[in-house]
Amino acid sequence: MAANLCERLQQQTSLSGQAARGTGHHHGNHRQREHQSQRITFGARGSGQGIWTRTVPVVGVTVSDEGEIFVADNFRRIKVFTLQGTFVKQFPTVVSAGDKMRPHDVAMDGEGNLWVVGRIMPGSAEFAVQYNKQGKVLRKFDLQETGHYRGVAVDTRRNHILITQTTGHGDNTCGEVLVFKSNRTPVGTVGQQQRMKCPRYITVDREGNILVSDLSTHCVYVYNEDGHFLFQFGGEGSGEGQLNEPHGICTDRAGNIIVADSGNRRLVIFDKTGRFLKHITTGMKRQRAVAMARQGQLVVTALGNNTVSIFPTY
């Protein structure tokens, strides 16, 4: 049943992306500011610059040191915004001439370039592509065709690219993290012994520790910089410290771990040891990716209404 959950979530996002191609309604940019928390929310209900169709999933996000937000959506593009929610630019997720991939996630490396993972649709070829901030392809490499969504992170200290991978179907899925050098040379794998079932998002903290969210086991797995298992936390439920279909994951300057607890419609903060600290109730439906800006803002994408929210404090 756990593996079936993984496949069901993949199908929901894929179907949303398919529906977006047939949507032609334009309702303008939707932005709101919640004065009590000073949360800024933007996106949704449109298909022009700076906005999305109501059915286009926003699936990945990263923030540059300069404070630019890069959002990956299933309309085969990366959109860029300021930390005030102002649209800056966009570029297509080109793989080669005539081919664009539907991105699954996006991360930034130590040189300010972007790594995007995804697959070409129609078809099933999967790739990791490095772009500069203007959208120029710098390098790319093939990934195994799995049919499952992936996450990507960069260990900027070692210049390693880390990509989640789920293989198999039905009740027989298994997950791992693939580690590459930036020149595409494989370094190794992480997480096979812990029997992850459907790893989705991944991040690397300031100490080089690797943190992975798993949709099917409802846990977060933590490894050191060499890939040795340290601990896991979470477990299915809605109580303190429990998770339900965790998605996006990031860490703040203090080393605290922020998890998009999608099934419970909340954000959860744990300390660096995995101890529960508090819930953040956002009101967003089906949170997906989270990222921490260098300036301290928390950025969250939500698939339920296809928006991005910025929390100056949390």
pLDDT beneath 50, residues of the chain: 15-36, 45-47, 54
Distance CA 5, CA 212 (A): 17
Domain map (residue ranges) of the chain: 2-29+42-245
Question: Which residues are within 8 A (CB) of 201 and not within 5 positions of it... i.e. 6 or more apart?
Answer: 105, 151, 164, 212, 213, 247, 248, 249, 260, 289
**Strand-by-strand arrangement of the 257-261 sheet:** 246-251, 257-261, 266-270, 276-280
pLDDT at 50: 61
- What is residue 11's predicted lDDT score, i.e. its pLDDT? 59
Instruction: Give residue 39's pLDDT.
Output: 87
pLDDT value at residue 36? 42
Q: Do residues 41 and 31 lie in contact, with contact meaning Cβ atoms separated by under 8 Å?
A: yes
CATH superfamily of 2-29+42-245: TolB, C-terminal domain (2.120.10.30)
